Amino acid sequence: MRVCYFDCWAGAAGDMVLGALLDVGVPQEVVDEALGALGLERWSLTVGEATRGGLRAKHVTVIADQQTDARSFSDIDALLDSSNIGERVRILARATFRTLGEAEARVHGVALDEVHFHEVGALDAIVDIVGACAAFAHLAADRTIVSALPLGDGFVSTAHGTLPVPVPAVTEILSSAGAPVVAGGEGETVTPTGAALLVTFADSFGAHPPMRLQRSGYGAGTRDATTPNVVRVLLGEFEQASTPSPEAVVIEVNLDDMSPELVAYASDRVLRSGASDAWVTPIVMKKSRAAVMLSVLVTPLHRDRVLEVLFAETSTLGARLLPVEKVALGRDFVTVEVQGQVVRVKQGLYAGEVVNRAPEYEDARAAAEALGLPLKEIYALALEAARAHSSSPRRPS
């Protein structure tokens, strides 16, 4: 299984992501072809070498005419629809622009259709996003993981005035995806375009996985600093077949004197304390007393904390701990389009083969509300699109 890891110790911007993807081996012709299919004029893209903090990297420069009118999300959506770019590139680009648009809408308290992009609607941002989506689609990674992102510091001038770093659109984008962040970095480390691209590409966030490393690539930011201002992309192969883990633990407590509301609250608390799963089973205890058993699946890392919560939130005087082997399917996401709406579909893999699929509920609900269709119909269409995506041939590496 091919895995792509974005290592973003210095942050990320659109040009840095695009540069790293080109440096890891995507032919520039792939990007040029996608951008040419947009039919836009008065722009150029140059790719050269740069040194940042002593590291060589690809530096992408977009030269575009200044525009006086900001594009709306609908304008960009129509541009993508009318172009001849590949379907996978169109889906990724639309998802990226929607992520940006929804973040701006939340920040400014307006509807998505009322958002007019300034930086995002500019030609250079369109080139960065569509170019990066084309390059990423060409990699055909089975799973993509993104590292924690540094927050930066200071203030930055934008079309909306002077804003604190990270700018509100970035915090909205990262928080909506549950992306991990860390303190550090000089100035603006993560731009809205960079954040939206990474959130769109990522199946998950965290440390780099074990893999047989094949290639690495570096994309340079504009500024130079002591710490290399680059995004690194690592590309390799790893097996994500199911792996038995004898270190999982099931904790069980019997409860015969608690109201359903308190049991439900305790179940929610253990999940928020690190449990992998929790469930309640009706049982009959001694003296034919009706009761429930609250069961919790947890790793040793979170075991003690979950026990603390159980003893604090329930009436139990003890708990049973049962070591179990957990066989977990590999997981990844595909992003599909349902009548113009972006829906992520989670996939379960066994020995590298997809055996289960499930649309993400929040994405499907948003699509159902936008299209005025039943949720079950959105589920069916999303699953059909995901199956078609998985059966389509991969591009050669």
In a domain, 76, yes or no: yes
Q: 346 and 254 in one domain?
A: no
Last residue of a domain, one of 237, 266, 281: 237
Pairing type for strands 143-146 and 204-205 reads: parallel
387 C-beta neighbours (distance < 10 Å), count:
15
Q: 348 and 323 in one domain?
A: no
Q: What confidence category does residue 302 fall into, taking pLDDT thresholds of 50, 70 and 90?
A: confident
pLDDT digits (tens, 9 = 90+) for 121-173: 467 888 999 999 999 999 999 889 999 999 999 988 876 778 899 999 999 99
Q: 304 and 197 in one domain?
A: no
Last residue of a domain, one of 237, 262, 285: 237
Straight-line distance from the first to the last Cα atom of the chain, in angstroms, rounded to the nearest whole number: 13
Contact 209, 6 (CB under 8 A): no
Is the pLDDT score of 249 beyond 70? Answer: yes
Q: 8 and 75 in one domain?
A: yes
pLDDT digits (tens, 9 = 90+) for 106-120: 888 887 777 765 544
Domain range spanning residue 359?
330-391
In this structure, what CATH number is given to the domain that contains residue 374?
A: 3.10.20.300
pLDDT digits (tens, 9 = 90+) for 313-370: 999 999 999 998 877 787 777 889 999 899 999 888 887 688 999 999 989 999 999 9
Q: How many structural domains does the chain have?
A: 3
Is the pLDDT score of 48 beyond 80? Answer: yes
Q: 160 and 309 in one domain?
A: no
Residue keyed to tokens 């680059």: 230
Rounded Cα distance between 329 and 332, Å, is 10
Contact 7, 149 (CB under 8 A): no
In a domain, 396, yes or no: no
Last residue of a domain, one of 301, 327, 353: 327
pTM value is 0.67
Rg (CA), the chain: 24
As a whole-number percent, the residues of the chain with pLDDT over 90 amount to 59
